[in-house]
Structure 1
Amino acid sequence: MEPFNNIHALIIDMDGVLWQGNQALPGLTDFFQTLYELEIRFILATNNASLTPQQYTVKLARMGVTVAPKDILTSGMATALYLAEHTDPGDTRVFVLGEDGARQPLRDRGFTLTGLYEVNNSGSNTSHKGADIVVCGKDETLSWDKLATATLNIRAGAKFIGTNADVTLPTEHGVTHGNGAILAALQAATGVAPIIIGKPEPIMYQQALALLGVAPAQTIAIGDRLETDILGAIRAGIRSLMVLTGISTQEDLETSDFQPTWVMADIRALTHALRSQHLSMEPY
Structure 2
Amino acid sequence: MTLNDIRALIIDMDGVLWEGDRPMPGLVEFFETLRARDIRFVLATNNASNTPDQYVAKLARMGVSVDREQVIGSGLAAALYLKQHAPAGSKVFPIGEDGVCQALLENGFRLAELYEKDADYVVCGLDRTLSWDKLATATLNLRAGAKFIGTNPDTSLPTEHGLTHGNGAVLAALQAATGIEPIIVGKPEPIMYQLAMERLQVPPEQTVALGDRLDTDILGAVRAGIRSILVLSGISTREHLADVDYAPTWVMEDIREVIEAVR
How far 1:190 moved relative to its partner? 2.2
The 3-state SS of whatever aligns with 1:76 is: helix
Q: How does 1:195-206 map to 2 (within 5 A)?
A: 195-206=183-194
The residue identity in structure 2 corresponding to 1:104 is Q
Matches within 5 A, 1:42-191: 42-90=41-89, 92-119=90-117, 130-170=118-158, 175-191=163-179
Partner deviation per Cα, 1:162-198 (whole Å, 9 max, x = no partner): 0111223455665543221221222222222111111
TM-score, structure 1 normalization: 0.86
Q: 1:238 aligns with which of 210, 221, 226?
A: 226
| Larger deviation, residues 245-254 vs 156-165 | 245-254
Change (3 A) 1:139 1:58: same
Q: What letter corresponds to residue 146 of structure 2 in structure 1?
A: A
Deviation at 1:93, TM superposition (A): 1.0
Structure of greater Rg = 1
SS of 2:13's partner is: coil
Output the CA distance in 2 between the equivalents of 1:190 and 1:274: 48
> For 1:245 and 1:186, how far apart are their aligned partners in 2?
34
SS in 2 for 1:131: coil
Report the Cα distance in structure 2 between the residues aligned to 1:63 and 1:172, rounded to whole angstroms.
Answer: 21
Match of 1:218 in 2: 206
d(CA) in 2 for partners of 1:227, 1:164: 12
1:157 deviates by 2.3
Give unpaired runs (5+ residues) of structure 2. Answer: none
1:274 corresponds in structure 2 to: 262
Give unmatched runs, 5+ long, in structure 1. 120-129, 276-284
Residue matched to 2:5: 6
* TM-score using structure 2 length: 0.92
Identity among equivalent pairs (%): 65
The amino acid that maps onto 1:29 is V
Distance 1:274 1:173, change over 3 A: farther
Aligned-partner residue type, residue 137 of structure 2: T
